[in-house]
Amino acid sequence: MDGVGGKPAWAWIFILEGLITVVAGAMSPWIIVDFPENASFLTEAERTVVIRRLQCDNQFSAVGERLKFKHIKKSFTEWKTYVGMLVFGAITMPAYALALFLPSIINEATPANLLTIPVYVAACIFVCIVGVLGDRYSQRGLFNLICLPVGATGFIILLASRDAKLSYFAVFLAASSWVANNIEGSSKRSVTLAMTIASGNVQGIVSSNIYRANQTPWYPIGHGIALMYVILAIIGTVILRYILKRENARRDRGERDEIIQGQEGGHITNGCFGSVEEAKREKGDEWSGYRYTL
């Protein structure tokens, strides 16, 4: 399509990919359903199974939720949102960086592009494995703390190496580098996830400015900043996991119990509710029975 409409071929790649995104976004209100109870393609039996699975995963809003401004406001005042943004952004920037410096490790264009494929395939497999294990054991932060040092090792090697083969091996380590699980209430979760993903997308701007052409192919500044980001992700993960674990322990001790009408116990400072279901609905992940994924 080079020259079509007076535009170069590379411009058409962006136009066509962007057009698909715009069309898909415009159609999403009719394609994506808000809750299982609104999904016309599910049978009653399937709908019941989906709702029960979501509720077993501590997603109490699975059966529907009215949009309330207080839930949206909570996303902007919730400390977990900003720590999650820090961790996600710190992990995303080095991932963006791979696309910038990886081809330059190999001099010839065609082999360079072909040799980028194994790195992304390995990273994809690794992500799938970690995702499955993280879900199975409900230990997202722990897997972060296992994977991030591996990624940091890769960037340390990239900083020290002046050998293309060693640097290529290090990229596999660097490529191996849990917000939604800890936010309850669909409105709150949606806003928090949007903020978190946005913090990651912004890192593409950072990565494109720290890998400079005059430092090819070793990029000491770029790799150094990427390593700093990985270290920030480790620190953020440790902080987030520690605070969530401490909060879970407080709930286990009953310090966050609400007063429920007709039931004994609870603390007035945690709120008064007519039923447990009301407490779940109104408090979301702050409900005393909710446990954060570590």
Domains and CATH numbers, the chain: 4-54 (no CATH), 78-253 (1.20.1250.20), 258-293 (no CATH)
Q: Taking the CB of residue 18, how many other CB atoms lie within 10 A of it?
A: 10
User: pLDDT digit string (tens) for 143-179?
Assistant: 888 888 888 888 888 888 776 666 666 666 666 545 5
Q: Binning pLDDT at 50, 70 and 90, where does residue 191 land?
A: confident
Which of 109-113, 134-138, 287-291 has the weakest average pLDDT?
Answer: 109-113
The model's pTM is 0.75
Q: State the pLDDT at residue 61.
A: 53
Between residues 67 and 2, which one has the greater pLDDT? Answer: 2
Alpha helices by DSSP H, the chain:
9-31, 44-56, 69-77, 79-101, 109-137, 140-160, 164-174, 186-201, 203-210, 220-252, 276-283
Q: State the pLDDT at residue 135.
A: 78
Q: State the pLDDT at residue 22.
A: 92
At 144, the amino acid letter reads N
Mean pLDDT of 62-68: 59
Angle CA 182–183–187, to nearest 5? 165
Q: Which two tokens stand for residue 220?
A: 């000491």
Q: State the pLDDT at residue 174.
A: 60
Q: Binning pLDDT at 50, 70 and 90, where does residue 192 land?
A: confident
Q: Binning pLDDT at 50, 70 and 90, where does residue 32 land?
A: confident
Mean pLDDT of 268-283: 84
Nearest residue to 94 via CA among 262, 271, 219: 219
The region that residue 58 occupies, defined by phi over 0 for left and psi between -120 and 50 for alpha, beta otherwise, is: left
Nearest residue to 60 via CA among 275, 294, 272: 275
What whole-number distance in Å separates Cα of residue 60 and Cα of residue 254?
20
* Straight-line distance from the first to the last Cα atom of the chain, in angstroms, rounded to the nearest whole number: 50
